[in-house]
Structure 1
C-alpha cells in the first residue's frame, strides 16, 4: 500500500465533518459546508452526534467494569474528549487501547495526542483489510486476541458499501476474538430517517472517499451473527440505556452491543 497523501482541503472528509458537527475545530471549509447542508435539513444532527458519543462512552465504561482491559477502536475519528482510553483508564488504569482509522487527518492528530501515552497507540489502516490490522506490530504489542476485548465500530459501517461485504468483514474480526469479547456498532439507519435529510447526506458524500450507505435495521442485524445481543438490542442510539427521554431526531443511527459466547 502506498503512503497516503496529506489531507486535501478540497475533498470532504467524514471525520472532519463529524468533528464540525460535534463542535470541533479540526475541519476545512469543504467539511463545514457539507455538514451544514445536512444540519439545515436536520437541525438536531449535533444532538444525534452527541448521543452516539454517549453510547460509545457508556459501552466502554460497561466493559471496563466487566474486566475488559483491551480496546480496539476502528474508525475512531478525530480525537475528542472524553475519549476511549481516558474513560477505560478511569476504571482500569492498565487498560490498553489501539485507535485505527484510514483518514490521514485522524492519524496525524492521534499520533500527536498519544505520542507520550504508554499503552495507547494509533495506526493508519482500513477496516476492509482486517489482516493488515491483525498483523500490525503496534496492534500485536497491545491486543491479545486470545483474551476478551471490546471492538468498537462507531459510525463506521455506513462508510463501507455493500460491495465490500461488511458482514463478512465483521465476521473476520469476530472469528479472531476470544469468547467473552464484546462488539459495539452504530451506523446511519434508513428506518425512520427523514428522506430529504438522508438524500442530502448521501448527495454530499458522493464525491468523498467513502460515499454514505444507509441501511435498514434488518440489514444491520446480520452484522451481529455469532454474538449474543445485549438489551435493549438494536435501537436508535439515543435509546440505548437513556438517562432521560430523548426527543426523536430527523436522522436515525441504529446501535447495539453484542457479546461473543
Structure 2
C-alpha cells in the first residue's frame, strides 16, 4: 500500500519502506528516510517487518496443510525471499496465487518474477475498493470464489484510514469467500503503545505522509466476524503457531487465521 499519491512514485510508499526494512534493494531515498526516522524513534519499527513476514509464511503453510489450494494476497508489497507463490508452489505447484497492491512499482517487480509462472499473477488495485478487486478479470481468471480460497491481509488494513472503512474491506472478502475458505490477517494494534510512543507515531505520520492507523484489538477481531478462529486465536504475531525460537514480540502486531463455516 502506498500513501495517497495516486501513482506511488513521488513520495514514500509503505511497500518500499517495508522492502528497505527487511534488507531489500527496491526502494528509493524517500522510503529509506522514513524507515530510518522510524527506526531511530521507535525501536519496535525494526522488528515489525520480520514479525509480519514470518507470520505470513507460517499462515500460508497452515492453509496448505488445511487443504487450501488457491490464494489471494491483498497489499502484497514488494517481493522478497519466500514469497507466497514460492511457499505455495513448494507444496502445490499448480495452485493459483494472485498478488494485489496499489503500488505500481511493487506490481511491476512481481510481474517480472511471474512471467514464467502461469499459476500466479500480480494486479494493480486498491484495498479500499474490494469490489473492483473481486471483479478484476485477472483475479477471476485464476481464483474461483466458489471453492475455498486463502485470503491474506498482512499489515495492510492499518494503511487504511477510518473513513476508508477497513472493516468493510474485510467484510467484502468474507462475504465473497466460499465455505471452507480462510482469512489470514495480521495488523497493528494500539493496545501496548505508551503515550510517548503514540505521540511519536502521530508525529511521524504527520511529517512523512505515510498513513498508518493502529487500532484496538476488539476492532481488529471484528475483521473475523462470522468466521471460526483457529487456535491459538488472535495473538501477538510471533506467538501464532511459532515453528522456531523467536525474539520477544513487539506487542504491536497481532494476527490470526479463521475459517468460513
| TM-score, normalised with respect to structure 1 | 0.91
Q: How many residues align?
A: 255
The answer for the alignment partner of 1:69 in structure 2 is 69
Cα displacement (A) at 1:7: 1.8
How far residue 91 of structure 1 moved from its aligned partner, in angstroms, is: 0.9
Please state if 1:247 is matched with 2:248: yes
Tell me: CA distance 1:114–1:33, structure 2 relative to 1, closer, same or farther (3 Å).
same
Q: What is the CA-CA distance between 1:244 and the residue it aligns to?
A: 2.4
8 Å CA contact retained: 1:167, 1:223: yes
Equivalent-residue separation in structure 1 for 2:34 and 2:184 (angstroms): 27
Task: Say if 2:136 is the partner of 1:130.
Answer: no
Cα deviation digits, residues 161-219 of structure 1 (max 9, x gap): 11122212211111110011000111111011344444334433336665211101011
Aligned-pair distance for 1:110? 1.1
Equivalents in 1 of 2:110, 2:202: separation in Å? 28
Deviates more, 1:38-47 or 1:141-150: 38-47
Look up the match of 2:89.
Answer: 89
Change (3 A) 1:77 1:217: same
**Off by >2 Å, runs of 4+ in structure 1:** 41-48, 193-210, 242-246
- The answer (yes or no) to whether the contact 2:12–2:210 under 8 Å persists in 1 is no
Q: Give 3-state SS (helix, strand or coil) of 2:91's partner.
A: coil
Structure 2 partner of 1:28:
28
Residue in 2 that maps onto 1:119: 119
Greater CA deviation, 177-186 or 103-112? 103-112
What are the ranges of 5 or more consecutive residues in structure 1 without an aligned counterpart?
A: none
Q: Distance in 2 between matches of 1:214 and 1:150?
A: 24
Q: Is this contact kept in 2: 1:125–1:133, CA < 8 A?
A: yes
Structure 2 partner of 1:200: 200
* Cα RMSD, aligned residues only: 1.8
- On the 8 A contact 1:37/1:200 being kept in 2, the answer is no
Cα deviation, 1:115-164, whole Å, max 9, x if unaligned, reads 22111000000111112112111111110000001000001010111112
Match of 1:60 in 2: 60
**CA displacement, residues 204-246 of structure 1 (integer Å, 9 cap, x when unaligned):** 3336665211101011111110111111111111111122253
- The residue that corresponds to 1:7 in the other structure is 9
